[in-house]
Structure 1
């Protein structure tokens, strides 16, 4: 897809920003389940019995490695992507930016 879009992106001075999970790079017992479902839980009748308990975050924070001791949100990643696509990110090329969400 990148190759197909490249001529147009050159014309408009656009960006290609690839995203992927960092789950393979970090060992943590909480992400082993993530590896099996990757896209996360979607609320359907098929998975009503496999939902996590509502209070799961209360005790998970004890083992988090992040100083904020809270899970990241979608906005934490999208703000980095927006910065990379803006003029502020014009000198960041070919790098891996690790945005930890757990």
Structure 2
């Protein structure tokens, strides 16, 4: 079987590849910003403010509730990314077939 040479600069400039990058960026950048803000908010708030030290339920403070929420947020973002990655994979496979980089 003869392999086709792929013009990578042409492939990178193609509308399909640019759309894939645009969609990935539109998902990944906001999710990363949200994750980092939510993650670093706990140590910042506990360092400079005392309202998280107030009891939420019994002897459990709001700081503990926030910390548990971080685990939930991480799991949720992982699930969302896994589902979204399936779409990205389909787009990437379609693009590879389009440029001749994968066997049909």
TM-score, normalising length: structure 2: 0.29
Per residue, is there more strand in 1 or in 2?
2
Which structure would you say has the larger RCO, counting Cα contacts within 8 Å and 6 or more residues apart? 2
Specify the structure having the higher radius of gyration (Cα).
2
Per residue, is there more helix in 1 or in 2?
2
